[in-house]
Amino acid sequence: MVPFMVELLKVRQHQAHGTSLVAVIFIGLIGAFAYSLERSVDFFAAIALACPAILTANLGAKFMALLPEWKLKRSFGTFLLFVAFLLAFKSYFPHFHFSNTFLGKALTLLITGAFTGFLSGMMGVGGGLIMVPVMVLLVGLSQHSAQGTSLLVMVPTSLVGSWTHWKLGHVDWKIVPGLIIGVLIGTSLGARFAHLLPEHHLRLIFVAFMVAMGVRYLLTKPVNSQ
């Protein structure tokens, strides 16, 4: 959502991040409800992730406000390339399950929640691409449970981050209704169309988009050199 708002709607970078986070609340609500019906939500993991994420989402949003737009764009470009790397090579990551150790599982979730919350508040994203691999590769949750849990965590995290962005004036309320309607339609259609292409092909298309946008953002010049 952030690149499309900036490139197509010409929304300022800071406002795009804050506005995106408002829409993420509804993505989390819809997705978490659907996964909970299938009993694919680990509530212990959700609480362990959400508690630190709520605190750091506020910090991430405030930190974003301190960055000039060109620095924020470069930071966002780095984030996009990092996510593209995770998507491209996730099948090759080794599994180190700590699920048999309660302390190891709890610490892993708490640290991941803190890191994800900060990124969510700063970048205007849900953070599922960070949480899901950690829960699958390190904690030992199934893919479905990890996805359902991450969606549930997005709700309180995005609420806190959105509230902070709103107070900072970084939410464009004129386009929020359109984003919410798009989310409602997109989650339904996306689930159907996703099965028309193999997962590998879908991932490659998304990775290519992320790399292209990431490089574009990284090439943003400082204002004083333009």
Q: Give mean pLDDT in consecutive 10-residue pieces for the chain, a chain of 226 residues.
A: 89 92 90 85 94 94 90 89 81 61 85 92 84 82 85 94 94 93 78 64 80 87 64
Question: From CA 204, how far away is CA 101, in angstroms rounded?
Answer: 35
Looking at residue 143, its pLDDT comes to 76
Decide: pTM greater than 0.85.
no
User: Which pLDDT score, from 0 to 100, does residue 226 have?
Assistant: 43
Lookup: tokens for 211:
């790399």
Give the separation between CA 47 and CA 33, rounded to whole angstroms: 16
- Angle between helices 143-167 and 102-123 in degrees, nearest 10: 40
Say what the pLDDT of residue 225 is.
45
DSSP H stretches of helix in the chain: 2-7, 13-37, 43-66, 69-89, 102-123, 128-134, 143-167, 176-193, 199-218
Q: Look at the block and give the residue holding tokens 């949750």.
A: 141
Residue 183 identity (one-letter amino acid): V
Residue 47 burial (10 A CB sphere; 0-12, 13-18, 19+): middle
**Residue tagged 């599982």 (tokens):** 105
pLDDT the model gives residue 93: 67
Residue with tokens 């900060």: 118
pLDDT of the residue at 42: 92
φ, ψ at 194 (rounded to 5°): -60, -25
Q: Of all helices (H) and strands (E), which one includes residue 222? A: none
Find out whether 18 and 124 touch, Cβ atoms under 8 Å.
yes
Q: How many C-beta neighbours within 10 Å does residue 79 have?
A: 20
